[in-house]
Amino acid sequence: MVLGLGLSIAALMVVTLAVNISSVWVARHTLDSVADGCALAAAQAVDAPAIYRHGVTHVVPLDQNLARRYVANYLAASDVRSRFTNLTVRSVRVDKGRVRVEVQALAPLPFGYLMGRLRPVIVSAASAEDIAG
């Protein structure tokens, strides 16, 4: 009886863990797509005054504030928020012509009630660059 009970508990723990990890894995992949969409939107935030000042070079300069606004517009216009819990943009960083967007959301766990308040946060990042020519 002890062996049966022990094996049952161990097997249930393994299945619980496997289902939770699969769920986090799928959510992480979906969040990668969201980060990708955010980065593509932000990469179109061309800093027009900088182009007028310095001309068009190989790398198109991007505007940080405009990039943030484009990311917000993208999240508002698309239906991605409904697919996650507490989806937020961690950062939008512009370095010359390159933008890096980090997003985060709470991981969906089918057996999350076993973990109490310890609900993991998944983070995903994507970069994009606008190249002239």
Partner 1 sequence: MSMLKNEAGNVSLEFMAVVVALLIPLTFIAGAVSSVVKTNLAQESAARAGARAFVVAPTNQLAYLHARAVIATVLSDSGIQSSQVESTISCSQKPCFMRGGVVTVTINRDFTVPVLGHWLNRHVLVTGSQSVIINGGNS
Binding positions for partner 1, rule: CB under 8 A: 1-4, 7-8, 11, 14-15, 18-19, 22, 25-26, 29-30, 33, 36-37, 40-41, 44-46, 66, 69-70, 72-74, 77-80
Minimum Å gap between C-beta 48 and partner 1 is: 10
**Based on CB atoms, which residue is closest to partner 1, 30 or 64?**
30
Beta strand 98-106 with 121-129: parallel, antiparallel or unpaired? antiparallel
Strand partners, 129: 98
Between the two ends of the chain, the Cα-to-Cα distance in Å is 73
| Whether 105 contacts 88, CB under 8 Å | yes
**Based on CB atoms, which residue is closest to partner 1, 7 or 123?**
7
